[in-house]
């Protein structure tokens, strides 16, 4: 019997879909480095995800339009209208990369930018760092995508994860033909939500919902106050240019951002694992592994650890219960995969699961599927 012995076995769904690998060469010009990937995925990028008019989805499926949806529609229209000047306000190399992706895919620049800036706002996830009894560090995540957007009544699934599954890719970023970092990502998206610098650190980002949060920062940025970082651009910069756990932690803790977020960071030595809870301007909490006091894992879904999760969306308690039952002695990547395959940690929104082990450089990602009965989120 696997882990989570008290959980019904039928609750664990171990489907593992294949995800292709691509190399992104950081030595080539930013507007060219995505060419190969985008030309391979052109059909999926154009037909499926990017051009799905978000407003139509929202209007078709959600009869009661919320404040959030109106805002998203407004931003989408703005982006399409002011596309070129807006893209030019993004920092290098992101501006150039987005232009390159628009050129190769043939999509409007504003649409590619919208995808890059807004999709991260709709992710709900589970991320964890765990240490085994020999001091090995494991980092894993489920990316659950598309809350608030399109539920496909016929297929019993959310439309957005359906669109995103074919866009999911593993990326190997190289300089001088040597791997700098690896990431699971969506074709067309230049920020990072999940990544590893082999031998050095592992990093994932989870959405932190906050009414005051994102929108104010994004509106300020459109109006010209641009001293904050887009969140997934920050994770990309850290993965690309930070060379130690300490440096990564410092940047993730201290950089001013446009919206709040959780960063889950693992290092390469015993005790190096933490969840950083960020508001736009400050670090609210750093929750670290504490082996001496029995904390051999840290786990984050989408709620501050000092608060109860939303009662409708409690993935934290089941995931922790599974980890507790697994025990530190038996923790391993397959055991963690089982934890992340247990409903409702696995749900209809789950798009992929990534497993990382920093010291060996293991980086595996799988497409997920959650057959009925499965809760929608």
HSE value, Cβ hemisphere, 13 Å, CA-based, for 168? 27
Report 53-92 residues binding ligand NAG (CB under 6 A).
92
What is the smallest separation between the CB atom of 130 and ligand NAG, expressed in angstroms? 12
Give the binding range for ligand NAG (CB under 6 A) out of 122-130, 235-243, 252-260, 281-289. Answer: 235-243
CA distance 187 to 301: 24
Is 374 catalytic? The answer is no
Of the listed 125, 274, 322, 370, which one is catalytic? 125
Report the site for ligand NAG in 294-333 (rule: CB under 6 A): 294, 317, 320-321, 324
Is 268 a binding residue for ligand NAG by CB under 6 A? The answer is yes
CB atoms within 10 A of CB 323: 21
67 or 92, CB closer to ligand NAG?
92
Which of 240, 304, 313, 364 binds ligand NAG (CB under 6 A)? It is 240
> Would you call 302 helix, strand, or coil by DSSP?
coil
* Cis amide prior to 344 (ω within 30 degrees): yes
Q: Is 23 an interacting residue with respect to ligand NAG (CB under 6 A)?
A: no
Q: Return the number of the residue (39 or 327) whose C-beta is nearest ligand NAG.
A: 327
Signed CA dihedral, 72, 73, 76, 81: sign only: negative
User: Applying CB under 6 A, does 291 fall inside the site for ligand NAG?
Assistant: no
Show Cβ contacts of residue 358 under 8 Å, excluding neighbours closer than 6 positions. 137, 139, 196, 198, 199, 200, 201, 202, 266, 267, 268
Answer whether 116's CB lies under 8 Å from 167's CB. Answer: no
Minimum gap (Å) between residue 214 Cβ and ligand NAG: 21
230 is a site residue for ligand NAG (CB under 6 A): no
Taking the C-alpha atoms of residue 287 and residue 62, their distance in angstroms, rounded to an integer, is 37
- Provide the annotated active-site residues: 125
Chain positions contacting ligand NAG, by CB under 6 A = 27, 92-93, 176-177, 199-200, 236-237, 240-241, 244-245, 268, 294, 317, 320-321, 324
């Amino acid at each position: 019997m696997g882990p989570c012995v008290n959980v019904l076995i039928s609750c664990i769904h171990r489907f593992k879909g294949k995800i292709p690998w691509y190399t992104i060469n950081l030595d080539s010009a930013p507007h060219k480095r995505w060419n190969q990937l985008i030309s391979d995925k052109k059909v999926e990028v154009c037909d499926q995800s990017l051009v799905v008019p978000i407003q139509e989805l929202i209007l078709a499926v959600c009869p009661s339009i919320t404040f959030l949806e109106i805002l998203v529609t407004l931003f989408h229209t703005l982006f399409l209208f002011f596309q070129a000047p807006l893209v030019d306000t993004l920092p290098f190399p992101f501006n150039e990369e987005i232009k390159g992706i628009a050129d190769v895919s043939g999509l409007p620049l504003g649409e590619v930018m919208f995808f890059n800036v807004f999709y991260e706002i709709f992710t709900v996830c589970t991320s964890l760092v765990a240490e085994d009894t020999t001091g090995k560090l494991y980092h894993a995540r489920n990316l659950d995508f598309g809350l608030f957007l399109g539920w496909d009544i016929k297929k019993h699934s959310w439309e957005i994860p359906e669109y995103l599954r074919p866009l999911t890719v593993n990326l190997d970023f190289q300089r001088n033909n040597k791997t700098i970092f690896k990431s699971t990502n969506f074709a067309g998206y230049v920020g990072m939500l999940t990544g590893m610098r082999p031998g050095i650190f592992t990093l994932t980002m989870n959405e932190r919902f906050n009414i005051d949060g994102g929108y104010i920062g994004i509106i300020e940025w459109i109006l010209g106050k641009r001293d904050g970082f887009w969140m997934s651009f920050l994770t990309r910069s850290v993965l690309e240019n930070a060379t130690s756990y300490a440096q990564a932690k410092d940047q993730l803790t201290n950089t001013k951002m446009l919206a709040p977020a959780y960063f889950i960071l693992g290092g390469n030595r015993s005790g190096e694992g933490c969840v950083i809870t960020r508001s736009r301007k400050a670090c609210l909490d750093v929750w670290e592994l504490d082996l001496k006091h029995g904390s051999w894992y840290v786990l984050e879904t989408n709620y501050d650890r000092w608060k109860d999760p939303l009662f409708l969306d409690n993935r934290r308690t089941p995931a922790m219960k599974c980890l507790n039952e697994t025990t530190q002695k038996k923790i391993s990547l397959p055991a963690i995969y089982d934890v992340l395959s247990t409903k409702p940690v696995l749900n209809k929104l789950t798009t992929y699961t990534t497993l990382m082990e920093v010291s060996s450089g293991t980086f595996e990602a799988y497409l997920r599927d959650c057959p009925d009965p499965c809760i929608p989120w």
